[in-house]
């Protein structure tokens, strides 16, 4: 039997793309959002993060993204010790990791294609190439024919798929999603999960925070469970 993720990390037998070693995150004001959390995620894994409100799910995703810094412990993402790298490199790390939010965060005055194109942060790319890559990303989520629509003329599920295309257009190794279906009805939620399963099949590592206990079962994937900042179950 494969040892639990946290056991492997604690034993130092680790080859994961995301590795946490006794990570604690204390926000200003003294709230311990994560306490002594250890686990690792292998390249190509697709895992969920569950736990009640305030358990630390968003905080976990934010530290992996490099948007929040770890207070204690070590965090290694794709072979780099994020705990120690300078802010400039953190910015680069952020570009290598795709992030999907609950509320989509699309620009309303831009078309679907433009929203995706804006995320292409590769310097010196000709405009034609940017459009081509953005178009391919939209096509991958089944929205090629909606490319000229503004977000408000798309359904919630379609808006979230634009946001997923935007997160994927830079070909990130890791895709993090924080309650990506929190604003969607059950049918649209499953549509988004089907999208994630497809992305997973292409080799991307996925970590998805959710309140919805039916989603890990629907996807047939394992869950990391947090309770008041502590890891209570992994694998
Ligand atoms: N920027 C912040 N400053 C101070 N405390 C914070 C900050 N962000 C989160 N917290 C606190 O850290 C704890 C964990 O919050 P977090 O947002 O990670 O929980 P969550 O599991 O994502 O909850 P939810 O399911 O409601 O989204 C909470 O007690 C929260 O109040
Ligand atoms: Mg949250």
Pairing assessment for the beta strands 223-227 and 230-233 based on DSSP bridges: antiparallel
User: What CATH number does residue 58 fall under?
Assistant: 3.40.50.300
55 lines ligand 1 (CB under 6 A): yes
Report field, pTM of the whole predicted structure over 0.75: yes
Selection from 119, 153, 155 nearest residue 137 by Cα: 119
For ligand 1, say whether the CB of 51 is within 6 Å of any of its atoms.
Answer: yes
Q: Which residue from 99, 95, 80 is spatially nearest to 17, judged by alpha carbons?
A: 80
- Write down the H helix ranges in the chain: 5-10, 57-65, 87-96, 112-117, 127-140, 156-168, 186-201, 214-219
Q: What is the pLDDT along the chain (235 residues), one digit of tens a residue?
A: 344 555 555 555 557 999 999 999 999 999 999 999 999 999 999 999 999 999 999 999 999 998 899 999 999 999 889 988 888 888 777 778 999 999 999 999 999 999 999 988 666 788 999 999 999 999 999 999 999 999 999 999 999 999 999 999 988 999 999 999 998 889 989 999 999 999 999 999 999 999 888 999 999 999 999 999 999 987 6
Ligand number nearest to the C-alpha of 55: 1
Instruction: Please choose, from the candidates 88, 68, 87, 61, the residue with its C-alpha nearest in 3D space to the C-alpha of residue 28.
Output: 68
DSSP letter for each residue of 155-190: -HHHHHHHHHHHHHTT--SEEEEESTTTTS-HHHHH
| pLDDT at residue 1, as a whole number | 38
Residue 168: count other Cβ atoms within 10 Å of its Cβ.
Answer: 22
Name the residue with tokens 């490199």. 89
pLDDT on residue 161: 95
Q: What is the predicted pLDDT for the residue at 14?
A: 57
Please say whether the beta carbons of 68 and 75 come within 8 A: no
Q: Which are the contacts of 139, defined by CB distance < 8 A and separation ≥ 6?
A: none
Q: Which residues contact 133 (CB under 8 A, 6 or more apart)?
A: 117, 120, 125, 169
Q: Is the CB of 31 under 6 A from ligand 1?
A: yes
Burial of 148 (0-12, 13-18, 19+ CB in 10 A): exposed
- Give the total number of structural domains in the chain: 1
Closest listed residue to residue 9, CA positions, set 41, 45, 44: 41
Ligand 1 centroid to Cα of residue 32, in Å, is 9
Distance (angstroms) between ligand 2 centre and the Cα of 21 equals 22
144 C-alpha to center of ligand 2: Å?
31
Backbone dihedral region for residue 120 (phi beyond 0: left; psi -120 to 50: alpha; all else: beta)? beta
What b/e readout covers 57-77, taking b as 16+ CB neighbours within 10 angstroms? bbbbbbbbbbbbebbebbbbb
Give which of 50, 52, 53, 19 is closest to 37, Cα–Cα.
Answer: 19
Give φ, ψ of 96 to 5 degrees.
-85, -10
Model pLDDT, residue 231: 96
Q: How far is the CA of 59 from the centre of ligand 1 (A)?
A: 6
Range of the domain at 113: 5-233
* Look-up of token digits 């290598």: 96
Q: Is 63 in the pocket of ligand 1 (CB under 6 A)?
A: no
Distance CA 190, CA 195 (A): 9
Q: Is 71 helix (H, G, I), strand (E, B) or coil?
A: coil
């Amino acid at each position: 039997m494969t040892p639990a993720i946290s056991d492997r990390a604690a034993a130092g037998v680790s080859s994961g793309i995301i590795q946490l070693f006794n990570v604690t995150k204390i926000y200003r004001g003294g709230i311990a959002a994560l306490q002594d959390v250890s686990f690792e995620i292998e390249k190509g894994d697709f895992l969920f993060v569950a736990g009640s409100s305030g358990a630390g799910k968003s905080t976990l995703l934010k530290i992996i993204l490099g948007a929040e810094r770890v207070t204690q412990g070590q965090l290694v993402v794709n072979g780099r010790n994020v705990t120690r790298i300078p802010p400039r490199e953190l910015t680069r790390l952020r570009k290598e990791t795709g992030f999907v939010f609950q509320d989509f965060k699309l620009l309303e005055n831009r078309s679907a294609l433009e929203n995706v194109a804006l995320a292409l942060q590769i310097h010196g790319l000709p405009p034609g190439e940017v459009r081509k890559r953005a178009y391919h990303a939209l096509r991958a989520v089944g929205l090629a024919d909606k490319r000229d629509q503004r977000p408000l003329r798309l359904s919630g599920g379609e808006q979230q798929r634009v946001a997923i295309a935007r997160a994927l257009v830079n070909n990130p190794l890791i895709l993090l999603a924080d309650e990506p279906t929190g604003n969607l009805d059950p049918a649209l939620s499953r549509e988004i999960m089907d999208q994630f399963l497809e992305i997973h099949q292409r080799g991307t590592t996925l970590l998805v925070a959710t309140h919805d206990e039916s989603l890990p079962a629907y996807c047939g994937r394992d869950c990391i469970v947090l309770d008041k900042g502590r890891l209570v179950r992994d694998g």
